[in-house]
Structure formats: structure tokens, C-alpha cells
Chain A
């Protein structure tokens, strides 16, 4: 199954807009020696949802829940593209052509010339999206790579 190979467990944390709350999440993860690979904060005027890809999602979730945060896991997939103009376009074009809605996406440009894009699509369209990208020769990052 494509999902078992490519589904990266992203941790989502519900946060009220209160001073110091982000620092508390970060501290909890530090104390548990969890490395954040990528993160993205979506917010409304009153609360936010912090989305993170970490090296050990199960542990991260357990630690956060034990500290009183509302945290859960969501499947996203990671695509590796060249860190240059058009890299992002290539990927979203495929998804658009396939009629797959992207719920959200974020990226991180690592130290190399490659960038990693994270995509969240509807759970039932996960395999379709990943399959289409693979067919077009786009490189997906296996979830195990992310947990290293």
C-alpha cells in the first residue's frame, strides 16, 4: 500500500492564543528529545493549530497529551523537489490535473538543493494523489526517512 510507505504522521496541536503556549509545546518536545523536522502554524483570531513533522510522532503525541495539549496525528505526504522556480508548480499541477484538492501544504528548504513539500489531501484521495505523482516521476519521501 502506498499509504504505509508514504504516509508521514504529522502531529497537530490545538493551541489557544495565549502568551507562552508555543514555548510550552517546544519545551515539552525538547525535554522528550524530539526533533521537529518541519512546522506550520495555522491560526484564527482565537486559536491556532500547530502542525509538525517530527522524528518520533507517537512519542511526541504521547508527551503532548500527557502535558494537557490536544494533539493528534494526521497523514500527510512529503514530496522532494528541486529548490528552484517551478519545483512547487510541477507537483501541484499533477494534483490539479487529477482533480485532487489540496487541503493545505507547507514546505521546508533543507540544507541541500532540494526542498521538501508536505501535502494534506482528503484521506480517501491519499493513494490516488501519491500514485499520480509517482506516475509522473516525482520523488516522494518515504515516511521512515522523515523519522530518522
Chain B
């Protein structure tokens, strides 16, 4: 069937499918996973209590900590014989989180990635250069099978080897790039250094960028540098990997809600917020077999919109993730998301969108430094000009984010380029306590 049709399903039909699938998922979770049974019992809720979509609010939340506590397979709802794939997070912030997929789960995943790719009508004529890391990370393999499913030719480039990747992109005539936004930008910078004529040498028309938050400015830079339709991809391995949501040509990040039910809550109280209010995204999987997730707290801050999108899709859409509740810095009492800093930086001419935020303590006060790279294209030879640039950036940060940050100009390419997710924050405060 036409995959795209699923995004345009009449609302009533969608609700019917959702409630049916939700009921089934809750039953399975309760009866097959001791962890869920215990949690439901403690909350005094039985699967039979879930009769409407609103009843989802009666269910307890699940967190990343729950996954860690039940490491590695404790939350699986199927015997291992039915698991055909296992992925895992890097575990940089503790024990890794492990996720499993049955054959049916992989089908769902392939479907949502295929629907993601359809946001730019990717099909058999396309050559998809997949620079997401292959391996335990869900990005590489997730996109791989989705792209095959729409009939495109996939180049499983994975991460690293930037120069070779550029050569392959040019020689094979890649039309679609899948990567993190920071790696897309890195590829572009290296292409210039290597003397490529980006417009002539490459045929890219669309890019599928995700796995890290990107500001509007970074998105625009990536989209304009490569001359591509920027499709934002949202996902997390706990839910399925990439493919939870993808942006249409109007930039609305549509959630494939026939598979994932979204809610937005107040991260402090856990209360469900009305549509249009900003809060933490909570997702419930309703088709996953191996690892059903009930009201998983993503820590991602966003807003849900149910009003119709200009593209005609009936499924709900969310705004770009403003930041992770985890990444939120509190600097002298002011909440700061790295993406907000990034947005300010990309508005100021003369510096690249590469930056690092360094937080330190100076006495009792937090001291924030933003390190940004000077771009040789804009480098003028006056110390005064650069001093003004620095001052302008400091003023912009103060005006937009209400923080006193010290800006430090650094040489180009000195800030770390990650092949996967960019590391934007260095918090030295804990070390000094």
C-alpha cells in the first residue's frame, strides 16, 4: 500500500486504531513484564481501566532509570527466541540502555523510516548516502533498512573517514544524505577545504538529519550549504530509534502516531499539559512487541500541535526539540538550553556554528563561557573588528537569554567535531565542589 497514506488517515479512524493498539499494549505489558505489573498495581490501575485514549493518563511513567535497573533484558515482553536484533546506547551517563526488536518490530521500524524518507519522496531513483554510525547505535541500521524498503540504493558509509565519504558522495552521485546535522556541516567544511565545487560536484537534494538537537540557524546553514531539503528526524532508541517523527516540507515534525502516542507533561509535576503548551514529551509505543514502552519520559522539551498542518497530514506534529531536560543548564538561576545559544550564534555573521559552552564556578557564581570559531571567510584583519564581534555576541546572548556569558574566539577547526553527536557542554562546576 502507499505508505504515505498512513500519514493522511482520517482522525476518527486513527483514534480507533490507537485505542485498540493501546489496550493491547497495556495488556501485554501488564501480563508479560513483571516490572509493569508491579508499577500498575502500585498505581492501582488495571489494564481494563484503559478504555479511552485519555485513560492513558492513569498509567505510571517509565524512565531511563527503569531500563537501567532492569539491565539488560528485564523489560522485554517476549522470550529471547523471538528477539532478532539488539541495540544499545553508549552508556556514557551510566549503564547502557538495551533495546530489543522482534521481526515485527523491525517491520514497524522500517515502515516509519520509509515514511520519514517519503517526506522528501525518496524512491528507487535515489542514492542514499547513510553516514549514521552502523553498529549498536540505532541510526545506521534504522535508516539502512528504511531506505532499502523505498527502493533506494543505500551506501552504508557509517561515520568517520570524511574525505573518503565526500569522494563516494561525488562519484556515486548521492542524492540523499543521512547524518547528524553537525556531521553534515563538517562534511561541507571539509568539502570546501578539499577544493570541491559543492554545487557542481554533488547532487544532494535532501538530507535526513537527527540524533542531536539543532537550532533553526544550524538547520538553515546545513540546508543552504548543501542546497537540500532539510528533513528533521526525531527518535530515540528506547522507543524505536530514528523514525518516531519527521518533518514535512513545512518543517512540522509529524509523529507517526499510529505507532507512538505522544503527550506533553509538566516535567516537575508530571501533569499532562494542554495542546500548545511547552513541556516534556512522553511517548507510549503501541505496536512494539519486544520492548513496549508505557509513557516513557523522553526528557525532550517540545510542544504538540493537533491543528492541521499545511501539508495535509492528519497526524499530530511537534515542534523541534528545544533541548533535553537533561541538557538544560541552570546558570545563576537562569535556564539555558544549548540550542538557544546556538541560535544566537548562527544569527551573528563572522563565526561558524561550531561552539562549546563552558560552565565553571567563580566564587559562588556560575561563570559561563561560549567558545566560538572564527570563520576565515569573514576574518578581517582588525583586532577592533573582532573585539566588536565578540562584544556583539555577548550582547546578543544577554538580550536573548538573559545570561552574562564571556565569549572566547578560537581558531577555526579547534573545537571538537564529533562523528556522532556533538558535545556542546563542558560543565566544570561539579569538579570544583
Q: Which residues does A use to contact B, with CB under 8 Å? A: 10, 12, 14-16, 42-44, 46-49, 51, 65-66, 68-72, 74, 103-104, 120
Contacts and interface: CB of A to CB of B under 8 A. Distances in A.
A101 to B, nearest CB: 12
Contact of A44 (B193, B375, B387): B387
Contact of B379 (A12, A42, A66): A12
Interface string B368-397: 000000111101111100110000000000
A23 to B, nearest CB: 15
Interface of B: 193, 374-377, 379-383, 386-387, 408-414
6 contacts: A12-B380, A65-B376, A72-B381, A74-B381, A103-B382, A104-B382
Contacts of B381: 10, 12, 49, 51, 72, 74, 120
Main secondary structure of the interface of B (DSSP, over half): loop
Contact of B412 (A10, A47, A68, A74): A68
B76 to A, nearest CB: 48
Contact of A47 (B193, B377, B382, B409): B409
Main secondary structure of the interface of A (DSSP, over half): strand
A70 B409 CA distance: 12
Nearest to B413: A68
The 8 A-B residue pairs with the shortest CB-CB distance in the complex, in nearest-first order: A12-B381, A70-B376, A42-B383, A74-B381, A70-B412, A68-B413, A70-B379, A72-B379
User: Which of B374, B376, B408 counts the most A-chain CB atoms under 10 A from its CB?
Assistant: B376
A16 B412 contact: no
A38 to B, nearest CB: 14
Contacts of B374: 14, 70
Contacts of B379: 12, 14, 70-72
Nearest to A70: B376
B386 A70 contact: no
A49 B386 contact: yes
Contact of A68 (B387, B409, B411): B411
Nearest to B409: A47
A49 B382 contact: yes
B375 to A, nearest CB: 7
B383 A72 contact: no
A16 B411 CA distance: 7
Contacts of A103: 382
Contacts of A12: 379-381
A42 B410 CA distance: 16
A52 to B, nearest CB: 10
B383 A70 contact: no
Nearest to B387: A44
User: Which of B193, B380, B381, B410 counts the most A-chain CB atoms under 10 A from its CB?
Assistant: B381
A42 B193 CA distance: 27
